[in-house]
Amino acid sequence: MATVEVTFTPLPAHVRTARLVATAVARRSGVDESLLDEVRLAVGEACSRAVEAHRRHCPAEPVRIEMTDQDQRFVVTVSDHAPTAPARLAAPATDNGIHDGAGYEAIGHDGGSVFPAGFGLAVISGLAEDVRVLSTSSGVSVRMSWPSTAGAS
């Protein structure tokens, strides 16, 4: 059973709440203060991705976050239920990666992101040392973990 479980309506306004909850639970689980910004950003990216997927495919379905202490790790799983193409876990950019804005123009328009799909996951993979993306026909789960002092309970 998760230590803390949150479900929320897929609205952008709730992503901030999800970030705040995840950061608070991470702190309580003993995640080092220096990692809390990473937790906040990675969970925010995962929730933003899930919210966008739900808004497109199933706006009535809630997004779910589970936070658990396991083997001295703080584990966060963000799950959506949007039937979509498998999520791509793009490699994070390196010094030899993205050099100018040209690569971002594929999806650019006034209403949407200028970044290609999967960019948020690429950011997560650049932040968290342990990220697993499970993509099935019924949705995508993004599981991330950070070292913590709790977990034996």
Give contact residues for other proteins (rule: CB under 8 A): 12-13, 15-16, 19, 37, 40-41, 44-45, 48, 51-52, 92-95, 97-101, 104-105, 108, 110, 113-115, 119-120, 122-123, 126-127
Question: Cβ closer to other proteins: 19 or 73?
Answer: 19
Question: Cβ closer to other proteins: 59 or 97?
Answer: 97
Question: Cβ closer to other proteins: 89 or 93?
Answer: 93
Question: Cβ closer to other proteins: 24 or 104?
Answer: 104
Query: Smallest distance, Å, CB 115 to other proteins?
Result: 5
Is the distance from CB of 85 to CB of 116 less than 8 angstroms? no
Query: Smallest distance, Å, CB 132 to other proteins?
Result: 19
Which is nearest to 151 in space by CA: 14, 28, 15?
A: 28
Q: Under 8 Å CB-to-CB from 83, ≥6 apart: which residues?
A: 57, 58, 137, 138, 139
Q: Under 8 Å CB-to-CB from 30, ≥6 apart: which residues?
A: 74, 148, 149, 150
Query: Smallest distance, Å, CB 6 to other proteins?
Result: 17
Query: Smallest distance, Å, CB 138 to other proteins?
Result: 23
Query: Smallest distance, Å, CB 56 to other proteins?
Result: 13
Is the distance from CB of 21 to CB of 4 less than 8 angstroms? yes
Q: Return the SS3 of 7.
A: strand
User: Residues 107, 17, 59, 7: is their CA dihedral positive or negative?
Assistant: positive
Question: Cβ closer to other proteins: 83 or 108?
Answer: 108
Q: Return the SS3 of 32.
A: coil
